Structure 1
Amino acid sequence: MFKVLVPATTANLGPGFDSLGMALTKYSTYECELNDNIDIQIEGIEKEKLNVENNLVVNSMNKLFDYVGKYPTGYTLKINNGIPMARGLGSSASAIVGGLIVANELVGNPLGKEELLNLATEIEGHPDNVAPALLGELILSTKTSDGKVIYRSIKPFEDLRCVVFIPEYEVSTKDSREVLPEYISMEDTVHNSSHLGLLIMGFLTGDKELIGITMDDRIHEPYRKVLIKKFDEFKKAALDAGAFAFSLSGSGSTIIAYCSESESNMVCEAMQNLANKSNIAGVASVLEPCVNGPIYERGD
């Protein structure tokens, strides 16, 4: 019996559209052991939305089995979903990475992290969420013209805290893509590329002021925020309470404030108070960046 905890992720962080992601200390759990038959059990939040017949974890496991050409006779898999779906917290990335790690373990761990990342990206389509889910930390990644994933990791500075407000309402990937413009101007392109470069420098040096100035997007966030209830009000409340930066988490509906540990509780309270006052169902909480990636535990 073994257990794998795979972290949630937040992607984009403002100008890092489809290229920047960070792992967070919120997890889904995948517990597995070899068996004569296949037995799949699903628990956790929103378990009613998950099914056994077309399950992303199981599909990812089968992808790895096919890739390596080895198949277990059977297994018992217990999925405990801890990451809400369609909220911009990388629930699908966690499922994909969890499935691949579990499958790799079942057939003797023939694949290293680089191969697992390439497989995960093939399933997900792009690496911005699967890379931090698999590797931890803050990851800048892309795919080359021949489909190879390249990335670099940044260890988040110790004082960084992420206050997330996770509303009960969802934002579908389809809706979040449909609101994006078909074309963007040269001015907005230059704005995003320059801001992303300096944002990375801010995270490398722990320069919170620089992060706050450069976490400013013109490619996706101005269009997607119309799908988020009181986005601008949440941003103001968080910044007024001491956050140094604010963004959508992925494509939403979760929003995220970046702050120091000393301000995190005040920022969390400000965001929750605004939600309560505005009758927006959801929960604000303080998370830390997940530095080590998935947690592996072996049982008896």
Structure 2
Amino acid sequence: MYRIHVPATTANLGPGFDSLGMALSQYSIFEIEEADQVEILIEGLEAEKLSIENNLVINSMNRLFDYIGKYPKGYKLKTINHIPLARGMGSSAAAIIGGLLCANALMGNPLDRNAILKLATEIEGHPDNVAPALFGQLAVSMQKENKEIFYKLIKPFDKLKCVLFIPEYEVSTADSRGVLPKEMSMSDAVHNSSHLALMVMGFMYGDEELIGKTMDDKIHEPYRKQLIREFDNFKKAALDSGAFSFCLSGAGSTVIAFANEKNAEKVRQSLDRVAKNYNVQGQSIILDPCINGASCQEVQ
């Protein structure tokens, strides 16, 4: 049997729209072994929302089988979900990577990780979540018009903590994409490109002040935050309590603050106070960045 762990992710990080993502130390688990027929078991967080029909894990497995032109007689698959659904924490990316790694392991690992990334990007549409889910760390990625994928990984600096508030309510992909403008001004484009370039440098050098000054977006967050209850109050509370930057996690509904280990708990408590004061149901957590990405182990 093979056991696969795939991390949650946070994408965009402000100005890095569809091009930047970081792996987080919260994992969904997938177990796969050969069998005479197909057996599926789904457990874990919000398992009642995950059906076998049109299941992203199974669809991703079938995509790999089709790609290599080989199919198993059967298999027993168990998925244990630990990533909230439709909250901007990469649940779909984890399902895609989990399914591809399960199928790859079952067939004797015919594909390397770059080939896995290519298939995952074809399924997801862009690599900003699937790249960090697969490789870990902070991933800067892009896909050319010819479908060629480029990425670079940045190891998160020591003592970086990610403080998240995960609301109970969901934000659908359709809604989050639907509020985006069809066009942007030249000044907004320059704003984002300059801020993204310097913010990436901030993460490379562990410069908290630079990250704080450059995690500022004009392409998606000003429009999407209207879908997020009390976004501005969460942001003010996080920054006032010691976080050096704050943004939507993906398209939301989760929000994420970046802090160091000395004040992460204070930041978490500040998010809880906002949630209590404004009656926003949810959970605050502190996560480390995930360094190693998805793992696959053969177990007895």
The TM-score bracket by the shorter chain reads over 0.9
Matched position secondary structure for 1:80: strand
Q: 1:278 corresponds to which residue?
A: 278
Task: Give every structure 1 segment of 4 or more consecutive aligned residues whose post-TM-superposition deviation is greater than 3 Å.
Answer: none
Q: 1:250-265, aligned counterparts within 5 Å?
A: 250-265=250-265
Q: 1:211 corresponds to which residue?
A: 211
Deviation at 1:261, TM superposition (A): 0.8
Matched position secondary structure for 1:223: helix
The answer to whether the Cα contact below 8 Å between 2:121 and 2:130 also exists between their aligned partners in 1 is yes
Q: 1:104 corresponds to which residue?
A: 104
Does 2:284 match 1:298?
no
Matched position secondary structure for 2:59: helix
Q: 1:1-300, aligned counterparts within 5 Å?
A: 1-300=1-300
* Structure 1: gaps (5+ residues): none
Matched position secondary structure for 2:42: strand
The answer to whether the Cα contact below 8 Å between 2:38 and 2:75 also exists between their aligned partners in 1 is yes
> For residues 167-209 of structure 1, what are the alpha-carbon distances to aligned partners after superposition, in whole Å with 9 as ceiling and x for unaligned?
0001101011111111100000000000000000000000000
Structure 1 CA distance for aligned equivalents of residues 38 and 262 of structure 2: 48
The one-letter code sitting in structure 1 at the alignment partner of 2:250 is G
Structure 2 CA distance for aligned equivalents of residues 244 and 226 of structure 1: 23
Identity across the alignment (%):
61
Deviation at 1:241, TM superposition (A): 0.8
Deviation at 1:2, TM superposition (A): 1.6
Matched position secondary structure for 1:251: coil
Q: TM-score, normalised to structure 1's length?
A: 0.99
The one-letter code sitting in structure 2 at the alignment partner of 1:5 is H
The answer to whether the Cα contact below 8 Å between 2:101 and 2:296 also exists between their aligned partners in 1 is no
Structure 2 CA distance for aligned equivalents of residues 228 and 217 of structure 1: 16
User: Over the residues paired in the alignment, what is the CA RMSD in angstroms?
Assistant: 0.7
Q: TM-score, normalised to structure 2's length?
A: 0.99
Deviation at 1:119, TM superposition (A): 0.3
Aligned residue pairs total 300
> For residues 201-247 of structure 1, what are the alpha-carbon distances to aligned partners after superposition, in whole Å with 9 as ceiling and x for unaligned?
00000000000000000000000000000000000100111100000
Structure 1 CA distance for aligned equivalents of residues 120 and 180 of structure 2: 25
Deviation at 1:137, TM superposition (A): 0.5
